[in-house]
Chain A
């Protein structure tokens, strides 16, 4: 495929910001849900901060998307159309004025954003009321957490699947972007909670240490998905695709990719975790490492999208 004849959507960086925040929100929500399911008292702070982070991080999402589209009503077009389902694509479903297109990740993602926002709001409201001395409805929180958790996973992964369903040479044969974005959502979600937790001094027992252990695990998955993405793309055999990959790893995005996404975002945090430095020097080091993970998580998404759009 000749990349010169293909066109790019030229999405601005605010879409990257949305993808980053959405992933972080989804990751934080899932972590809070798992912690809540296993021991709600012991992980009380992780649950509280996790649901707050999820809610606050997802709020800018629709705003950023609407700014890109230009008119607020245009976001509604993602969900509603007056057309028969057989005219708008494979396996499209229309219910009343609404439509769902399972093969359009952007359409499915718009629904996921809506669903996640609702559950993130309910979960944040619940922990807020509990914090104000109200009683939390335990079963309801579990239900909200589990359903919202599925939306959270979806919100974190779908931008990667969305990119993979374009004709851009770097993305069309990549396959691993959804898996990579999901892992980034998990690591940045964990880092965001750890950052707030370490600064607020609210951690009790080994909760923070366990959170960092999970975050390190997510970083390993992230590293593996990134390696598989590069391996899959590099073995595709097309000159155009190879050119796109070299644009990412050796071209104008080479330095931010290796330094920002790989070294700062993954290698350094993992090294500090495995050397036991984080545990010994918490919470100050935890806060610093969390920032590194967040920066790396944004940079890796930014450079992959930028390189894929440019070549």
Chain B
């Protein structure tokens, strides 16, 4: 595998201009959609089959309900090192590229939608026109030709940075220290630690507060980790039922009532 590529989104630099969202739409030729009223500047509520990039707007309130801080974050597929969608995919349409990113092969995807419900971040969306699942590819065509993803290129404040994961992690850690000295006590990285949840996220974030402020799960879990335990319990149930059948049908004649 080649060196892992990653995206580092620094929310402290995001100005909510949505250049990334527009660039993504244009490069990936994603059709226009009916706008959605979300109560904020955000449009849409969530990732769709035609919105792979989404600038989220959050109003953090204090105990009295007064707006404390306005947060903006450009959200994207996390290309998890342990990806729920990839593990769920029954067809192998979802695969890991040599750069560590996660892609959906549109010719193989059979539209079962299992990945949609298996993503811990609700990223993957189903396209009803093609009958396939879709999501951000980190602009697979661009990165294989030495160009960065369209969103990172378009970002005017360098809130979105793209590059080799190990190099970006160093930049990110330095930036957190910088912000802390500036007084942003709650600044933290989300998904940068490769020993952390989901083996680290290849799109990781610098947040100015708790992940829940940004609609991110505090501790995302790989759903497939349940398979072993759930299967063992199923086997236990099978043994009990099988034993019950042996007892019920065993023996000679007589009344077989409970």
Query: What is the interface of chain A, defined by CB distance below 8 A to chain B?
Result: 1-2, 4-11, 30-31, 34-35, 38-39, 43, 68-71, 74-75, 77-78, 81, 83, 87-90, 92, 99, 101-107, 109-110, 153, 157-158, 160-162, 164-168, 172, 175-183, 186, 205-206, 209-214, 216-218, 221, 225, 273-274, 276, 278-279, 309
Q: Tell me if A217 and B108 are in contact (CB < 8 A).
A: no
Interface string of B99-118 (1 = CB under 8 A from A): 00000010011111110111
Q: Tell me if B116 and A83 are in contact (CB < 8 A).
A: no
Q: Tell me if B230 and A178 are in contact (CB < 8 A).
A: yes
Chain A residues with CB under 8 Å of B256's CB are 206, 209-210, 212-213
Known contacts A176-B233, A182-B237; A103 and B224 CB within 8 A of each other: yes
6 additional A-B residue pairs with CB within 8 Å, beyond A71-B110, A90-B87, A107-B90? A6-B120, A6-B122, A11-B113, A165-B230, A217-B241, A273-B258
A8–B215 Cα distance when bound, in Å, is: 17
A221–B245 Cα distance when bound, in Å, is: 12
Q: Tell me if B93 and A77 are in contact (CB < 8 A).
A: yes
Q: Tell me if B238 and A153 are in contact (CB < 8 A).
A: yes
17 contacts between A and B (CB under 8 A): A5-B46, A6-B120, A7-B116, A30-B245, A104-B114, A110-B90, A157-B238, A165-B223, A166-B88, A167-B118, A179-B237, A183-B237, A211-B248, A213-B248, A213-B256, A213-B258, A217-B244
Q: Tell me if A172 and B113 are in contact (CB < 8 A).
A: no
Chain B residues with CB under 8 Å of A107's CB are 89-91
Which residues of B from 216 to 258 have beta carbons under 8 Å from A? 217-218, 220-221, 223-224, 226-227, 229-231, 233-234, 236-238, 240-242, 244-246, 248-250, 253-258
Chain B residues with CB under 8 Å of A213's CB are 248, 256-258
Chain B residues with CB under 8 Å of A167's CB are 84, 117-120, 122, 221, 223
Q: Tell me if B230 and A83 are in contact (CB < 8 A).
A: no
A218–B258 Cα distance when bound, in Å, is: 12
Q: Tell me if B87 and A9 are in contact (CB < 8 A).
A: no
Q: Tell me if A9 and B255 are in contact (CB < 8 A).
A: no
Chain B residues with CB under 8 Å of A176's CB are 230, 233
Q: Is B164 an interface residue (CB 8 A)?
A: no
**How far does the Cβ of B255 sit from chain A's closest Cβ, in whole Å?**
6
Chain B residues with CB under 8 Å of A218's CB are 241, 244
Contact with A81, one of B91, B96, B113, B120 (Cβ below 8 angstroms):
B91
A110–B91 Cα distance when bound, in Å, is: 10
A153–B241 Cα distance when bound, in Å, is: 10
Q: Is B181 an interface residue (CB 8 A)?
A: no
Q: Is B196 an interface residue (CB 8 A)?
A: no
Q: Tell me if B91 and A78 are in contact (CB < 8 A).
A: yes
A182–B240 Cα distance when bound, in Å, is: 10
Chain B residues with CB under 8 Å of A105's CB are 227
Chain B residues with CB under 8 Å of A211's CB are 248
**How far does the Cβ of B180 sit from chain A's closest Cβ, in whole Å?**
27
Which residue in chain B gives the minimum CB-CB distance to A68? B112
Known contacts A70-B131, A89-B87; A178 and B242 CB within 8 A of each other: no
**How far does the Cβ of B103 sit from chain A's closest Cβ, in whole Å?**
10
Compute the total of residue contacts between A and B using a CB distance below 8 Å: 238
Chain A residues with CB under 8 Å of B124's CB are 7
A160–B220 Cα distance when bound, in Å, is: 21
Q: Tell me if A165 and B227 are in contact (CB < 8 A).
A: yes
A225–B92 Cα distance when bound, in Å, is: 32
Known contacts A5-B215, A106-B112; A165 and B224 CB within 8 A of each other: yes
Q: Tell me if B122 and A5 are in contact (CB < 8 A).
A: yes
Which residue in chain B gives the minimum CB-CB distance to A181? B234
Q: Tell me if A166 and B223 are in contact (CB < 8 A).
A: yes
A70–B223 Cα distance when bound, in Å, is: 27
Contact with B227, one of A77, A92, A103, A214 (Cβ below 8 angstroms):
A103
Which residues of B from 155 to 200 have beta carbons under 8 Å from A? none
Which residue in chain A gives the minimum CB-CB distance to B1? A86
Q: Is B145 an interface residue (CB 8 A)?
A: no
Known contacts A11-B113, A88-B86, A161-B231; A214 and B223 CB within 8 A of each other: no
Interface string of B65-109 (1 = CB under 8 A from A): 000000000000000000010111111111111000000010011
A183–B249 Cα distance when bound, in Å, is: 17
Chain A residues with CB under 8 Å of B55's CB are none
Contact with A70, one of B89, B96, B111, B246 (Cβ below 8 angstroms):
B111
Q: Is B201 an interface residue (CB 8 A)?
A: no
**How far does the Cβ of B235 sit from chain A's closest Cβ, in whole Å?**
8
A110–B242 Cα distance when bound, in Å, is: 23
A176–B237 Cα distance when bound, in Å, is: 9
Q: Tell me if B221 and A178 are in contact (CB < 8 A).
A: no
Chain B residues with CB under 8 Å of A205's CB are 253
Q: Tell me if B121 and A5 are in contact (CB < 8 A).
A: yes
Which residue in chain B gives the minimum CB-CB distance to A73? B110
Q: Is B136 an interface residue (CB 8 A)?
A: no
Q: Is B125 an interface residue (CB 8 A)?
A: yes
A113–B234 Cα distance when bound, in Å, is: 17
Q: Is B212 an interface residue (CB 8 A)?
A: yes
A209–B110 Cα distance when bound, in Å, is: 46
**How far does the Cβ of B256 sit from chain A's closest Cβ, in whole Å?**
4
